[in-house]
Amino acid sequence: MNYKIIDKETYYRKGVFRHFTEDCKCSVSMTARLDVTDLVKYSKETDTKFYINFLYLLCKVLNSRDDYKMAYLWQTDELVCYDVINPIQYIFHEDTETCTPVYTNYSADYKEFYKNASSDIEMAKNTREYLLDPQNHPNWFDASYVSWLSYDSLNVELPDGYIYLAPIINWGRYREEDSRLMMPLTVRLNHAVADGFLVANVYRLLEKEIEAFCRR
């Protein structure tokens, strides 16, 4: 785990960061539908799991821009940007109706990531412990699949005054709309490091990555 310290005096969002960490601590959350028709088709044709394919592309997008890799270290009052952020995926257990968090390392190499994510999932199926360990995993972000519903909106609340900068991403079941498969995706970012453009940009980048990925 490596990071660079951001000089808050020269940070390009200096005024915004100060306002949304001192005057008005809040987040920005957006839900929109993403066209995953081609990714579903690709997954079926290659006999790969749509879930892992999407998780890979999501990680690739979030690691493509520093704005999505920010963190605030309250112990030292430092704003930092990690070299890489990794997904915390969640495995649901039907018997206990509980989830187990799974820490998966991101790799830009698709085959390596697919292998790692698959292995992590299988290991998590054998435990019913919660196993959340944020202290030893500071550069991880939440990536949670709400498999039971194709929802229209979702909101994640955090305690007031808590400067949490990592992305929180949720998505639900895709459904057919006008002959296309549309999937609800919710992106939550802290307003101190992201505005509407940066939240919407996650969707725009995912659209481009899905198109490029399916042309492989």
pLDDT score recorded for residue 49: 98
Which residue is it, tokens 């919710």? 186
> What is the overall mean pLDDT for the chain?
95
Q: What is the 3-state secondary structure (H, E, C) of 134-172?
A: HHHCCCEEEEEEECCCCCCCCCCCCCCCCCCCCCEEEEE
**What are 149-158's pLDDT values in tens digits?**
999 999 988 8
**Contacts of 38 by beta carbon, 8 Å cutoff, 6+ apart:** 210, 211, 214
Domains of the chain: 3-214 (3.30.559.10)
Per-residue pLDDT of 112-131, as tens digits, reads: 999 999 999 999 999 998 88
| Cα–Cα nearest to 17, from 81, 62, 61 | 81
Question: Helix-strand-coil percent breakdown of the chain, rounded to 5?
Answer: 35, 30, 40
Report DSSP state, residue 180.
E
What would the pLDDT profile of 60-98 be if each residue is shown by its tens digit? Answer: 999 999 999 999 999 999 999 999 999 999 999 999 999
